[in-house]
A and B are shown apart, each in its own frame.
Chain A
Amino acid sequence: MVEWNKRHLLDVEELTKEEIQQVLDTAKSFKEVSSRDVKKVPALRGKTVVMLFFEPSTRTRTSFELAAKRLSADTINIAVSSSSMSKGETILDTARNVEAMNVDAIVVRHGSSGVPQILANNLKSSIINAGDGCRSHPTQALLDMFTIKEKLGKLEGIKVGIVGDIMHSRVARSNVVGLTKMGVEVTVCGPSTLIPFGIEKLGAKVCYSVEEVIKRSDVLMLLRIQKERQKENYFPSIREYAMEFGVNAERLKKGKKELLIMHPGPMNRGIEISSDVADGPQSLILEQVTNGVAVRMAVLYLALGAKE
């Protein structure tokens, strides 16, 4: 393994194929830690990791916090919407104040694309992107790659379909970029109104028929459809969305028997995914969550040990 030289993790795009491979390999060795009786290694003892979340999150924040704790780092959570931002403080001031307490890494989530980059440009700490706007959610893409590779033994040549609101999804963007980099053939699917312009240039194919995508895929990744998008007229009704793009056991019969189902959560059962699929034998949804901790341990470990 080469020496890791990136203090930040802002986007999947900045990682080379080899670096992605290195994160996945590192995560593999950390996954075992979480299955021990004593779920802790001293790798980041004495380091402080701050979870700076400007958007509500349960899964990602908990996952990062557990990842840091299992590496023996000290952690603290700041949910910003409830404190200083309401008093008119800028994002940078909030982050600078946090950093002034000598923290080593800031895990940040923000509703506006680019905030992690802005922090990285101005702060000395390691910045780990836990999701920014519609742009990037690199640890989700990494844990998805880890999960697929663990199940199928490889990424190269695998066919992945991503179904849902591609336009507003940072998970979709990061996965398209990351998966194609690893030799995966990615097809995005959803109402044409929710497929952003230029997605083909990112390497994805576009298909408007979910049944076609089911037929051709090894892995199907379903995204949460937000009800607000209907109010913004991106599609006629939740009902029509469920009928045209929702995945249920009946539709899955059109695909391979071993087709794997993933969802980054939280799910809208009965809309983009039916319960018989979410809870069925092909579902990897909870394994994704388990693997999330291992992948985030790897990311924190590598970033905090980086030599620039």
Chain B
Amino acid sequence: MMLLIKNAKIVNSDGIDDRIKDILIQDGKIVKIGENLKSDGADIIDAKGKFVSPGFIDLHAHFRQPGQEYKETIETGSAAAAKGGFTSVFCMPNTKPPIDNIALVDFIIREGKRVGLVNVYPVGAITKGQQDEELTDMFEMRRAGCLMLSDDGKSVHNSHLMRMALQYSQMVGILISEHCEDPLLSKTGVVNEGYFSTLLGMKGDPAVSETTIISRDIELAHYLDCRIHFAHVSTKRSVELIRRAKTDGVKVSAEACPHHFSLTEKEIRSFNTNLKVKPPLRSEEDVAEIKRGLKDGTIDCIATDHAPHSQEEKELDFDQAPSGMIGLETAFGLGITELVDAKILTLPQLIDKMSASPAKITGLSAKGKIAEGMDADLTVFDSEAPWQVKAAGFASKSKNSPFIGKTLKGLVLATICGGNVVYNVE
């Protein structure tokens, strides 16, 4: 099985190739890159005038399977990922039941392979049942193919348990991604605590709920000389704390979500429940600092926190509706529109945040770069094409996006995963 991509403008995290090239793919690997390549019998994709980048890698998505298949499945989630240009997705373990044992890890991997669109990596729970009481069998989950652990949806609140988790996971060789939220501070907050929560009479979730856990975890990682990854960083102070930690040599990495660099709490005035998300949309100052963090490297990567919910659930009132929005299919458009067009990042830097950097964080050494010998996970896109976000256009089973109706720039045209064309706009 061979595939030849003709006339590609290759963009990697280190720059745009100054020559138009062809990419020959065989058995899921990039075997040759050069000008005017020929191959008899290979399928051909003509990328004339388009960019080809390494496939995007999302360290944070919810595919809801098992247990909440009415929101999303591995099959529909994979289709949404492919449509958004993603070739690898890490799915969070807050399923029902949570992914906290070898059997479920194995199920997610097998189902991802059966669907066969993108690489689906299960994120295992840090604690059994995500109950903040006992560690999961990390060695066993690692052997089954689990590369990352998280109790996403909540933090590990018990500090001793978090310490043990960091030490133990470091030995196992598995990365911990922390959802930073102190439940005693967030309480029942639904929007960022501040002027807008007061104005709108809504329960506030304070920024300090995020930063107390980030501070604690930075201290633990520093004390133990362990790695930690911070999920969906959303506040100015969080970025400052992580920047300082990196200066101090603490082994931290961080992700930010498109909605946290694209939207502010002001939007909440519409009471559109698709804007309800954890952590909540923050202030303009926070958004500016997230962008600064992306630019200066404090924030390593962009992750979607793709969180599908059904229409009925999002039609509840703001207090009752579940938190989260879908993100796989709008992430790249928001990256181009909000970051590249706004001169926050160059195109190669965006590709770094969406592919090379997440590959490096999770140790996917054959991904995140277009080079001979690497996995043939590629995204073909037009960085200039405008397109309108439409509910009917989503491949995801859920449509809970606050970006519906908006026009974005940057359109994914085709996605190739393991040498197979898994999405093609035509």
Contacts and interface: CB of A to CB of B under 8 A. Distances in A.
B196 interface: no
A14 B245 CA distance: 43
Contacts of B138: 236, 240
19 contacts: A191-B171, A192-B170, A192-B171, A193-B167, A193-B168, A208-B171, A230-B134, A232-B160, A233-B134, A233-B160, A233-B161, A235-B135, A235-B168, A236-B136, A236-B138, A237-B137, A240-B139, A243-B139, A243-B140
Interface residues of B, number: 16
B164 interface: yes
Nearest to A208: B171
B307 to A, nearest CB: 28
Contacts of A232: 160
Contact of B139 (A193, A230, A234, A244): A244
Interface of B: 128, 134-140, 158, 160-161, 164, 167-168, 170-171
A239 interface: yes
B170 A236 contact: no
A240 B140 CA distance: 7
Interface in A232-256: 232-237, 239-240, 243-244
Contact of A239 (B134, B137, B167): B137
Given A192-B168, A237-B134, A240-B138, 13 more contacts: A192-B167, A192-B171, A193-B167, A193-B168, A208-B171, A230-B134, A233-B135, A234-B164, A235-B168, A236-B135, A236-B137, A237-B137, A244-B139
Contacts of B168: 191-193, 235-236
Contacts of A235: 135, 168
A232 B133 CA distance: 9
The 9 closest A-B pairs by CB, nearest first: A192-B171, A236-B135, A240-B137, A233-B164, A193-B167, A236-B137, A192-B167, A208-B171, A233-B161
A233 B134 CA distance: 6
A53 to B, nearest CB: 31
A194 to B, nearest CB: 9
A150 to B, nearest CB: 35
A138 B128 CA distance: 40
Nearest to B135: A236
Interface in A165-218: 191-193, 208
A115 B136 CA distance: 37
Contacts of A193: 164, 167-168, 171
Residue of B128, B158, B161, B164 ringed by the most chain A CB atoms within 10 A: B164
A189 to B, nearest CB: 11
